[in-house]
Chains A and B, each alone.
Chain A
Amino acid sequence: MSNKYIGQSVRRTEDKRYITGKGRYTDDIKLVGMTHASFVRSPYAHARVISIDLSAAQNMPGVVAIFTGDDIKATGIVGVPTGWQVNFKNGDTMKEPPHPLLIATGSTSKHIGDPVAVVIAETYAAAVDASEAVEVEWEELDAVTDPFKAAQEGAALVHADAPGNLAFDWELGNPLSEVDEAIAQSAHVTSLEFVNQRMIPNAIEPRAYIGHYEEHIDKYTLYTSTQNPHLIRLLMCAFVLGLPEHKVRVLGPDVGGGFGSKIFHYTEEALVTWASKQINRPIKWTETRSEAFMLDAHGRDHVTKAEMGFDADGNVQALRIKTYANLGAYLSTFAPAVPTYLHGTLLQGLYTTPKIHIDLCGMFTHTVAVDAYRGAGRPEATYLLERLMDLAALEMGKDPVQLRKQNFIPAFNGVSEPGYQTQVALQYDSGNYQGVLDRGVEMLGYENFRQMQREAAQNGKLLGVGFSTYVEACGIAPSAVVGALGARAGLYESAQVRVQPTGKVSVYSGSHSHGQGHETTFAQVVADKLGIPMEDVDIIHGDSDAVAFGMGTYGSRSLAVGGSAIVKSIEKVLEKGAKIAAHKLECAEGDLEYAEGKWTVKGTDQSVSFGDVALTAYVPHVYPQGLEPGLDFSSFYDPANFTYPFGCHIAVVEVDTETGKVTLKRFIAVDDVGNVVNPMIVDGQIHGGLAQGIGQALLEGAIYDENGQLINGSYMDYAMPRADDLPMFELDRQETPCPHNPLGVKGAGEAGCIGSTPAVVNAVIDALWSGGHPVKDIRMPLTPERVWRAMQS
């Protein structure tokens, strides 16, 4: 069937409401009788609640109710759970201390901002006033924030029942003895100790929730800025509040960006839902940006020692990793999976490394939870591998492009050639790694670059180029596989294609769009598959009452998994439609072909349109015997494998030798995300990812002091990329289809963020070497001061 929309940069249908200010985000919603919540939070990272005095607050104007940790404790509600289980090396279950909705008297806060009470009032201002009048007596205790320090003897303990602050230890790959041996026999070993710093996601829309219990229908509604309404409903109903799931509706209206931080089930969601029943009125809570900095789950935060062994010709022989991964104080929804199954499993990278071993400790600290942030584990794996590659090239006096090429896994399409089995559990679906590197190098004009670099160095300017080639795993993934790896949920997606009697089509998707443009991309797919105009297709998502149980949007999975579910439903529609058409045309189904929105008897001009068949399905006066009326199909799609996008990112920087300031001169990204439905949207996803990855390299990073205070918890202090920090990006793509889903797509949401960070850091290191400063590492973000200091050492 010819495609009219797939492959085209169709302008987004959702844009109209956003550009006119008519988007409807949770904080825009007002309900009759709505109250407002404000939380009383711990000013200390670790402190015992000695007493709480509500007397002054209770009498403040407008106060409706105040609930404390003691009230919650009395109900028996334990707290929010994690959705993934990782076992200790010895097989014991990980430590999973409860994460209470509010801290009770006698218990301790475990990170700055941990809540002790919630004040509900007629207005937001009244709630804030009263929350400030709540008197809490605290006993401050020692804290630990760094995952490596948390593992040392004598470190402050986060949970009494997690000795050594260890949530779990974990390993993956070839037996350690074999890897040790291979490293010992290597002609050259590049080793690097580094920190992959803690990132704060910072979606521009702060989290916002409205809990609304309606007594007359005994039903709860939760409006939430979430990436996955059903997952929130399941976690909240089944594991936190014990509510009947069919009596709870979770709505994710317009959501202003997520980047992972809005996947997780947060305590405030459960709290406003629970409390709205207690006061029998709706309750809204919208976090301030200061709260967002403190409380939205952070990302990354690894302390790592990595060693890569090479033979005399530069062939990689082995990789040995020891990592301390910060999990924060409580295990957030996907937290245990991120440093393990989304990170350790990617350490093969693009290379044929025969021996790999990772040893990892998941650490509790007195910091907010660390969980998936755009890329989730894959950026950490890529950073590690690609830093080692460029550094090894410098150390061995080899060309970084050449070194990669000689170690690349050869191209394989996953159809006539098998997928690639890694040493770390995964099997890559299809890849052509040299293709993207060659294209990137061509765009760079590499031959001339070294010449320019030498000339620049002679003129006192340091130019550097940094390479990064990555493979990632997304479209998460077969339920059976993730179940075996510890997921407590399936990871399929749902889709219902409801053909209306007039031939218009409503599609209900379990995916959730918070910027990705599903309303456009999905409609392009549906319109082409059915041969109807895009205007005839409406995409509905974000309402647990309307949509079948779905898993939501993260891990670059929406089109690969959610889109495939839609295709499955379309196939069912067409199959039934053919029966109706055959009846109308008085022929056998096998005589029909479907194209351009109609069934035609092959070799004739006799046809019946999609709209005609739809109408007949709902007005079945003359109709195939025994066939049910209606044209409406649901599907669940559980993929056969993850998808494995890959690409090549190249950064060119200039370093000011006087100040250490790094200027990003060029950024080239050649990504292969499989087939592309909407190139404009895919490019946009890459752009956004690049900005976040470059932000990590040069600007961003959470800083806790040793008492656990977040000292850069505002936009005044945390340097997020602004428009004048970035160049125009130079993009190209290669399309290697995914062999195992019907659209051949792989996923593009995280790629930009996965490849870019090491490219930038490598470029700065390259620039410094070219100026005679052979430094191995500079701690991210590469601020002028750090770069300057590196040049002095």
Chain B
Amino acid sequence: MAKITVKVNGKVYSHEVEPRLLLAHYLREVLSLTGTHIGCDTSSCGSCTIHLDGQSVKSCSMLAVQADGCEITTIEGLAPSGSELHPLQEGFKECHGLQCGFCTTGMIMSAADFLQSNPDPSEEQIRHALEGNFCRCTGYHNIVKSVQWAAQKMKEDKAVTA
């Protein structure tokens, strides 16, 4: 067993974990943050995407011990403090960017990281950025629209605060 300390959604946790425990399992089983989903065993589907020190990461592709000392945001902690929802969460609802919801949390986490570095993306850039996240329900059409909606909203929000 190894001891790890992580900050998840603003809260500090310390646990003894098996060295082979995947970060995705740590979040789901130990912290009960079940919004991070597991859809594959080859790090291909993106359902498990979280933010680790501000970068999107597939949490099934690393061990919990590797996250020791890191700051993690999961879907449950994505909404900025004071807001109920992140603009992407609103966008997915507004543009019907989800159906069964299983890919959605990972999709939103990937898109959130992407919009930080590219606040004004083209359709092609959005599709390229989300290529690591599978959705079997939506055909991606409305996911692209959701991300565009959120990008627009974030621009407007920024203009207001500036």
Question: Bound pair: A and B?
Answer: yes
**Chain A interface residues (CB < 8 Å from chain B):** 9, 11-12, 14-25, 27-28, 30, 125, 202-206, 254-257, 259, 288-290, 514-517, 680-681, 683-685, 687-692, 714-716, 720-724, 726, 728-729, 752
Q: Give the size of the chain B interface in residues (CB under 8 angstroms).
A: 55
Interface of B toward A, CB cutoff 8 Å: 18, 20, 28, 32-42, 44-45, 47, 74-76, 79, 85, 89, 92-94, 96, 98-105, 108, 123-124, 126-128, 130-131, 133-144
Q: How far is A18 from B39 in the complex, measured between Cα atoms in Å?
A: 15
Q: Interface residues of B: mostly helix, strand, loop or mixed? A: loop
Given known A12-B93, A289-B42, contact A21–B75 (CB-CB < 8 A): yes
Q: Which residue of A lies closest to B77 (CB)?
A: A21
Q: Is the CB of B100 within 8 A of A514?
A: yes
Beta-carbon contact of B45 and A15 below 8 Å: no
6 A–B contacts, CB within 8 A, in A order: A21-B35, A205-B100, A205-B102, A515-B99, A684-B137, A715-B45
Q: In the complex, given contacts A18-B104, A256-B101, what are 12 additional A-B residue pairs having Cβ atoms less than 8 angstroms apart? A: A15-B93, A16-B93, A18-B101, A20-B89, A27-B34, A289-B39, A515-B100, A688-B136, A690-B139, A714-B41, A723-B133, A728-B144
Residues on B with C-beta less than 8 A from A19 are 75, 85, 89, 92-93, 98, 101, 104-105, 108
Cβ-defined partner of B144 (8 Å) among A20, A715, A721, A723: A723
Chain A proximity of B113: nearest CB distance (Å):
15
* Inter-chain contact B34/A692, CB cutoff 8 Å: no
Residue of A nearest to B135 (CB): A204
Q: Which residue of A lies closest to B101 (CB)?
A: A18
Q: Is the CB of B98 within 8 A of A18?
A: yes
What CA separation (Å) do A97 and B39 show in the bound complex?
33
Q: Using Cβ atoms and an 8 Å threshold, which residues of chain A touch B141?
A: 687, 726, 728-729
Q: Are B75 and A15 in contact (CB under 8 A)?
A: no
Instruction: Report how far A17 CA is from B96 CA in the complex, Å.
Output: 14
| Chain A residue nearest in CB terms to B91 | A19
Partner of B137, one of A11, A23, A680, A688: A688
In the complex, which of the residues B20, B44, B140 contacts A691, with contact meaning CB atoms closer than 8 Å?
B140
The 7 closest A-B pairs by CB, nearest first: A21-B35, A18-B101, A256-B102, A515-B100, A691-B139, A715-B44, A515-B99
Q: Which residues of A lie under 8 Å from residue B44 when comparing CB positions?
A: 714-716
Q: For B131, what are the chain A residues with a Cβ–Cβ distance below 8 Å?
A: 722-724
Contacting residues, chain A, for B108 (C-beta < 8 A): 19
Question: What distance in Å separates the Cβ of B26 from its nearest Cβ neighbour in chain A?
Answer: 12
Which chain A residues border B36 with CB–CB below 8 Å?
21
> How far is the CB of B105 from the nearest CB of chain A, in Å?
5
A714 to chain B, nearest CB (A): 5
Most chain B beta-carbon neighbours within 10 Å: one of A516, A722, A723: A723
CA distance A582 to B74 in the complex (A): 56
Q: What's the least CB distance linking A475 to chain B, in Å?
A: 20
Report the bound CA distance from A18 to B76 in whole Å: 10
Q: Cβ of B35: which chain A residues have Cβ within 8 Å of it?
A: 20-23
Selected contact of A723 from candidates B75, B126, B136, CB within 8 Å = B126
- A728 to B141 Cα, complex, angstroms: 6
Question: A43 CA to B31 CA in the complex, in Å?
Answer: 35
Q: Which residue of B lies closest to A203 (CB)?
A: B136
B136 touches A720 (CB 8 A): yes
A680 contact set on B, CB distance < 8 A: 96
Contact A729 B96 (CB under 8 A): no
The interface centre, meaning the residue of B41, B89, B134, B136 with most chain A CB atoms within 10 A of its CB, is B136
CA distance A456 to B135 in the complex (A): 34
Complex-state Cα separation, A569 to B156, whole angstroms: 47
Instruction: Say whether A21 contacts B105, CB under 8 Å.
Output: yes
Contacts A19-B85, A203-B136, A723-B144 given: A289-B40 contact, CB under 8 Å?
yes
Cα-based distance from A125 to B127 in the complex (angstroms)? 36
Chain A nearest CB from B87 CB (Å) reads 11
Nearest CB of B to A690, in Å: 5
Contacts of A14 in B (CB 8 A): 101
Complex Cα–Cα for A15 and B152 (A)? 21
Contact B76 A687 (CB under 8 A): no
Q: Which residue of B lies closest to A728 (CB)?
A: B141
Q: Is the CB of A23 within 8 A of B101?
A: yes
Q: How far is the CA of A337 from the CA of B20 in the complex (A)?
A: 46
Given contacts A687-B141, A715-B40, contact A681 B96 (CB under 8 A): yes
A257 touching B100, Cβ below 8 Å: yes
Q: Nearest-CB distance from A728 to chain B (Å)?
A: 6
Q: Would B33 and A21 count as touching, CB distance under 8 A?
A: yes
**Given the complex of chains A and B, what is the CA–CA distance between A254 and B98 in angstroms?**
13
Q: How far is the CB of B58 from chain A (nearest CB, A)?
A: 12
Cβ of A25 and Cβ of B104 under 8 Å apart? no
Question: Separation in Å of the B128 CB from the closest CB of chain A?
Answer: 5
Q: Which residues of B contact A11 (CB under 8 A)?
A: 93-94, 96
B136 to chain A, nearest CB (A): 5
The interface centre, meaning the residue of B20, B42, B140, B144 with most chain A CB atoms within 10 A of its CB, is: B140
A256-B102 Cα distance, complex, nearest whole Å: 5
CB distance from A24 to the nearest CB of B (A): 8
Given A20-B89, A25-B102, A204-B39, CB of A715 within 8 Å of CB of B96: no
CB <8 Å contact, B127 and A206: no
Nearest-neighbour CB distance to chain A for B27, whole angstroms, equals 10
How many angstroms between the C-alpha atoms of A511 and B131 in the bound complex? 33
Is B100 a contact partner of A203 (Cβ separation < 8 A)? yes
Which of these, B74, B92, B123, B136, contacts A257 with CB under 8 Å?
B136
